[in-house]
A and B are shown apart, each in its own frame.
Chain A
Amino acid sequence: DVKVTQSSRYLVKRTGEKVFLECVQDMDHENMFWYRQDPGLGLRLIYFSYDVKMKEKGDIPEGYSVSREKKERFSLILESASTNQTSMYLCASSLLSAVGEETQYFGPGTRLLVL
């Protein structure tokens, strides 16, 4: 069965802290994605990666960075957390395949509160 796991379901951090969100998939997928989900805004893409050590900016990369040292793991880093980064963070993965076949598999999400 397909599985994407995220390191925490809930996190509370203070403004200015460095925050690491971890995502692991066990499906040998090439593509991995980080989104944030906010009420009324749907999901917005932060960063994605097509391969190990490779990363691309999404629509809202400011204030975030990522790391992909191994194929199965994709980390989201908040260099200095701010209150406007309070959100639900969702990780997803998919196979590198033809257009139209890109079913993404999502983790359960990490709800981050920055105080």
Chain B
Amino acid sequence: GDSVTQMEGPVTLSEEAFLTINCTYTATGYPSLFWYVQYPGEGLQLLLKATKADDKGSNKGFEATYRKETTSFHLEKGSVQVSDSAVYFCALVYNQGGKLIFGQGTELSVKP
């Protein structure tokens, strides 16, 4: 079945470090891909998305490129801040109607 696999956390970085959170997927057809972020004590919110191969989603300095050949959607940021500390979820839509499949989440902790 369709699935999403993320790198395990927690990931701990110093402020201004480069961030990569790996995400790979298996799916039939051509899913849309999403990154959601969950700040402490809050629900999830959409960070960025890409709907077709080679699309790049970006928001708040974060980027991810939909790579069909490697079935990946890795999240990157050039310089993280303490305020980026959160749990990040990669997800895909596996058929029409909006049912998302989530990865297990990766906790990011950024130290000053």
Say how far A61's CB is from chain B's closest CB, in angstroms: 13
Q: Please, which residue of chain A has its CB at the minimum distance from the CB of B96?
A: A99
Known: A43-B89, A100-B93. A31 touches B98 (CB 8 A): yes
Q: How many A-B residue pairs have CB under 8 A?
A: 67
Contact with A along B68-112 (1 / 0, CB 8 A): 000000000000000000000100010111111011110000000
Q: Is B22 an interface residue (CB 8 A)?
A: no
Inter-chain contacts of A4 with B (CB < 8 A) = 43
Known: A43-B89, A99-B32. A104 touches B98 (CB 8 A): yes
Inter-chain contacts of A98 with B (CB < 8 A) = 96
Known: A31-B97, A45-B99. A108 touches B46 (CB 8 A): no
In the docked arrangement, what's the CA distance between A96 and B104, Å? 26
Q: List 25 A-B contacts (CB under 8 A).
A: A4-B43, A33-B98, A33-B99, A40-B104, A42-B104, A42-B105, A45-B100, A58-B99, A94-B98, A96-B98, A98-B96, A99-B32, A99-B93, A99-B96, A100-B49, A100-B52, A100-B93, A102-B93, A102-B97, A102-B100, A104-B46, A104-B98, A104-B100, A105-B46, A109-B43
Binding site for A on B (CB under 8 A): 4, 32, 34, 36, 41-46, 49, 51-52, 89, 93, 95-100, 102-105
Q: A90-B44, A94-B98, A100-B49 are in contact. List 18 more A-B contacts (CB 8 A).
A: A31-B97, A42-B103, A44-B102, A96-B97, A97-B98, A99-B93, A99-B96, A100-B52, A102-B32, A102-B93, A103-B49, A104-B46, A104-B98, A104-B100, A105-B45, A106-B43, A106-B45, A109-B42
